[in-house]
Structure 1
Amino acid sequence: MTTVADAIAALEAAYPPALAEGWDAVGLVCGDPAEEITRVLVCVDPTADTVDEAVETGAQLIVAHHPLLLRGVHGVPADTPKGALVHRMVRAGIALFCAHTNADAADPGVSDALAEAIGLTVTAPLNPNPDGRTGIGRVGRLPEAEPFAVFVERVARALPGTEGGVRAAGDANRPIRTVAVSGGAGDSYLAAATAAGVDAYVTADLRHHPAGEHLAVPGAPALVDVAHWASEWPWCGQAAGVLRAALGGTVEIHVSTRRTDPWTCQAAGAPTTRRSTR
């Protein structure tokens, strides 16, 4: 019999809780470690959609990247959105396990999965921990240089589509060979990407002012901004592989097919004069 605890042991070996940031909330959120599992669903976000998917597929465990209860709570009443999810999972016999910044920093982790999807060979962490092996983000190389416009298309093809699509800032003809990536919100690592001397930086949730200030620095990496969910979705396949290897085929592992990116439509604004790119 394979249990929730068996799955947790495999996941915590791959994504050690000690790597999580102090503010984070990782681990088992609800569920009985002793319960038997035969199906697991791996997703980025624990939402009503992914809980629906778990129920539909008969999963007894959801493995999610983002925490459901990140900030301190004093209760989970069923008339609140997150409380309703907890109650629904408990009633359906579904456990929830979250691996967040520990999965970001692990080797391999979230950014390794993003780098692999893009076609990079990883050479180092972007923001290394003292061990030099783990840490947030990754630096890698393409097999050969390609124009920035071609590289942006590469990123778009590698990741699941979202309404926001892929945005980029830089000279379309700039040769791109070395690349930094950071799954999830990565504008706090813009300086690290510049210090790494890479040609481009791929991340999510870039903001107007930090991006503009970054691009004003001569020689700074070109920027590729993707949806937060899309940048972390490749990790689901990685985590599924961890479970398949550890549980020996005794459990069916499903990667969620539900797009939990929150944006649902887009519209073009009035035309303006495009600024020059560096």
Structure 2
Amino acid sequence: MLAKGQTVIQYIEQLAPKHLAEDWDKVGLQLGSLQKEITNVLVALDVNDEVVEEAISLGCNLIIAHHAIIFRPLQGIQTDTPMGRMYEKLIKNDIAVYISHTNLDVTEGGMNDWMAEALGIENGVPIKDIHSEQLSKLVVFVPKDHHQKVLDAILNAGAGAIGNYSHCSFNIEGYGTFIPGEGTDPYIGEKGKMERAEEIRIETIVPHTIRNKVVQAMLKAHPYEEVAYDLYTMDLKGRTLGLGRVGKLKEPTTLGQFVETVKKGLKVDHVRVVGDLDRPIRKAAVLGGSGGKYYNSAIFRGADVLVTGDLDYHTAQDAVLAGITLIDPGHNAEKIMKEKVAEWMTGKLVEHKYDTTVHASQVNTEPFKFL
């Protein structure tokens, strides 16, 4: 059985929810349709003509890419230009293009966690906080014989996460009263008669982003026709997500030695380095893409070095004066996402018994040549 396009996208948005993207970013479906069965998916960092040809050769009808193919407003599509011909080729071969960009960068278990892992950064936290999760308190009253079923449904839907603890809840016994009216079919009691039922009050924490999912799971498991429950918006914030990652290295090293770690971990042949190669490095920061402007945030978090792409001359000069070292492996170092996303998507599809195949692009989209 092949997965529908919307199903594939639901999985990628479980990994990198769209609401985590920056306001300026262009994420989501950019070309084509998801109203079809997906035979093969190609995961790419960029979409260029070579990547499109690769998708055609593999029989792919969906590309999931990191960088947008349409970022600025189009005034028109001329098919006698290189970009226009690429759009035309995608459309004629019925290949949809979906973008997961800054949402993939900041999400837990996404781009910057992959890069941090590759560099040996342990227990990484964001360099720059971007999103604080809004929390709600869910309270529901359940008859004792359905308590465990409803509790499991709520917690398995994602409620009850506090820090590194999951399935957190508070439960207390009490009595509920009600009179079933005309047209009802009560689980407990009789029409027109006061009923006093032994119930359990369940309280738990629910992230705003999955509130509807949790409530629907609760209602499905609950035996009552009319479920008594409350949702309270809380001032307390949940997880904080943000750009980049900073943390201690597994072993202290020098800048020169760490350069080799970066080259090996991110699979790049060359890097640009700012700073004394003999400087001790104990705490490192990494930010995929263009992160030079965040060197002060990295300093504030205690980093000895920031690994990021697209560094300019004046940022390098300012960083030297500020006392932090820099390593620029290039923007293309984000290619680490190809294998990681393909592996994650394959796991989801296999878990749900779909025959759709996911491929990591083998095309090198690095535009620079080092001579």
Same fold? TM cut 0.5? yes
2:366 matches 1:258: no
Match of 2:88 in 1: 87
Match of 1:137 in 2: 244
Instruction: Indicate the SS of the match to 1:78.
Output: coil
Match of 1:214 in 2: 319
Match of 2:34 in 1: 33
Unpaired segments of 5 or more residues in structure 2? 133-238
The worse-fitting range, judged by mean Cα deviation, of 176-185 and 250-259 is 250-259
Paired letter, 1:242: W
Match of 2:259 in 1: 152
Following TM superposition, by how much is the alpha carbon of 1:9 offset from its aligned partner in structure 2, in angstroms? 0.8
Contact kept, 8 Å, 2:113 with 2:124, in 1: the verdict is no
**2:36 & 2:118 partners in 1: Cα distance?**
34
The worse-fitting range, judged by mean Cα deviation, of 9-18 and 180-189 is 9-18
Match of 1:227 in 2: 330
Following TM superposition, by how much is the alpha carbon of 1:265 offset from its aligned partner in structure 2, in angstroms? 4.1
Following TM superposition, by how much is the alpha carbon of 1:173 offset from its aligned partner in structure 2, in angstroms? 1.8
CA RMSD in angstroms comes to 1.5
Deviations 1:169-201 (A, max 9, x none): 222222212111000011121111111111111
Contact kept, 8 Å, 2:268 with 2:329, in 1: the verdict is no
User: How many pairs align?
Assistant: 261
Instruction: Indicate the SS of the match to 1:29.
Output: strand
**1:137 & 1:107 partners in 2: Cα distance?**
11
Match of 1:271 in 2: none
Match of 2:288 in 1: 183
Following TM superposition, by how much is the alpha carbon of 1:26 offset from its aligned partner in structure 2, in angstroms? 0.7
Instruction: Indicate the SS of the match to 2:103.
Output: helix
Paired letter, 2:85: A
Q: Which has the higher strand share?
A: 2
Structure with greater Cα Rg: 2
2:173 matches 1:172: no
Unpaired segments of 5 or more residues in structure 1? 267-278
Following TM superposition, by how much is the alpha carbon of 1:210 offset from its aligned partner in structure 2, in angstroms? 1.1
2:339 to 213, 237, 243: 237
Paired letter, 2:335: W
2:111 matches 1:110: yes
The residue correspondences of 1:46-85 to structure 2 (distance < 5 A) are: 46-85=47-86
Match of 2:9 in 1: 8
Deviations 1:117-167 (A, max 9, x none): 2222232111112425311111122211011111001101122335xx211
TM-score by length of 2: 0.67
Instruction: Indicate the SS of the match to 1:229.
Output: helix
**2:62 & 2:123 partners in 1: Cα distance?**
31
The worse-fitting range, judged by mean Cα deviation, of 200-209 and 6-15 is 6-15
Instruction: Indicate the SS of the match to 1:134.
Output: strand
Contact kept, 8 Å, 1:68 with 1:82, in 2: the verdict is no
Paired letter, 1:198: A
Instruction: Indicate the SS of the match to 2:43.
Output: strand
**1:141 & 1:256 partners in 2: Cα distance?**
32
2:3 matches 1:17: no
Task: Report percent identity of matched pairs.
Answer: 36
Paired letter, 1:181: V
**2:289 & 2:122 partners in 1: Cα distance?**
20
Contact kept, 8 Å, 1:42 with 1:63, in 2: the verdict is yes
Contact kept, 8 Å, 2:20 with 2:131, in 1: the verdict is no
Runs of 4+ with >6 A deviation:
none
Match of 1:274 in 2: none
